[in-house]
Amino acid sequence: MEIKENKEDLGIDKKIIYFFKKPSVIFNEFIEKPRYLWTMCIITAINVIYAIMQTALSIDIVKRSITGNLPDASKTLVEKFMKYTTSIPVQTVITIVTTVISIYVAALIYKILSRIFGSRIKYKQVVSVYCLSMMPIAIGEVLKWLYMAVTGKPVGVSYLVKPTLLNGVLDKFDIFNIWQIILLTIGISIVGKVSKKKSFAIVAILFALNVFITLHSYIK
């Protein structure tokens, strides 16, 4: 499988265009020059803003869901704990830490799976590919943030209002996840120098595992 590598660094303006038009051009850069720091910073910052906004609008729903059947003494204790953990400074730190750790852990799993499927992709390359593939999720969060800012209604809490498997799925997965899967498949195929079938199999395995773990608590 022949890969044509980029010999020149792309400017930020061209990268934005290629991200939407032809992401393979950006992934080709990661073969020789894997980079992810700025992408990770953008993703983390957006995650923090989104988490703070979502929590501020959904805190009452979350409280009712968690403390609804608790005795008064336990309810008071839980509410105090929630008030602390949902404060902006604590939530900011938690979101930053969990975002960065989840990126590195997911990249490690993708690297292991890629090796099983015959790719010699390096860890830094996987992190770069994974961070770029997270941008659709970040774009989705920006759009959801704008929706919450305009309407004053939280998103991603349908399951707490009406706990069904369908609502659980709709809360956690949307079209931006599909976009991410497509980017991951392209990126691992190009940078890892494997066929798109193998690349899709790698992505599908981890996605299926993620779906199972995420929705396990919703299945009665």
Print the SS3 string covering the chain. CCCCCCCCCCCHHHHHHHHHHCCHHHHHHHHHCCCCHHHHHHHHHHHHHHHHHHHHHHHHHHHHHHHCCCCHHHHHHHHHHHHHHCCHHHHHHHHHHHHHHHHHHHHHHHHHHHHHCCCCCCHHHHHHHHHHHCHHHHHHHHHHHHHHHHHCCCCCCHHHHCCCHHHHHHHHCCHHHHHHHHHHHHHHHHHHCCCHHHHHHHHHHHHHHHHHHHHHHHCC
- Give Cα 6 distance to the centre of its chain: 27
Higher pLDDT, 88 or 81: 88
Q: Which of 94, 78, 70, 61 minimizes the C-alpha distance to 163?
A: 61
Check: CB of residue 127 under 8 Å from CB of residue 71: no
What does the pLDDT average to over 56-83? 75
* Cα–Cα distance measured from residue 131 to residue 94, given in angstroms and rounded to the nearest whole number: 19
Would the pLDDT of 110 be above 90?
A: yes
Higher pLDDT, 144 or 169: 144
pLDDT digit string, tens, across residues 31-69:
999 999 999 999 999 999 999 998 888 887 777 777 666
What does the pLDDT average to over 166-172? 74
pLDDT band at 134 (very low <50, low <70, confident <90, very high): very high
- Three-state SS at 7: coil
Check: CB of residue 9 under 8 Å from CB of residue 33: yes
What does the pLDDT average to over 183-211? 94
pLDDT at 122: 95
What does the pLDDT average to over 110-132? 96
Percentage with pLDDT > 70 across the chain? 89
What does the pLDDT average to over 120-143? 96
pLDDT at 3: 40
Where do the domains of the chain lie? 29-218
**pTM, 2 dp:** 0.86
pLDDT band at 1 (very low <50, low <70, confident <90, very high): very low
Average pLDDT, the chain: 86
What does the pLDDT average to over 171-175? 83
* Start-to-end Cα distance in the chain: 46
Would the pLDDT of 81 be above 80?
A: no
Would the pLDDT of 220 be above 60?
A: no
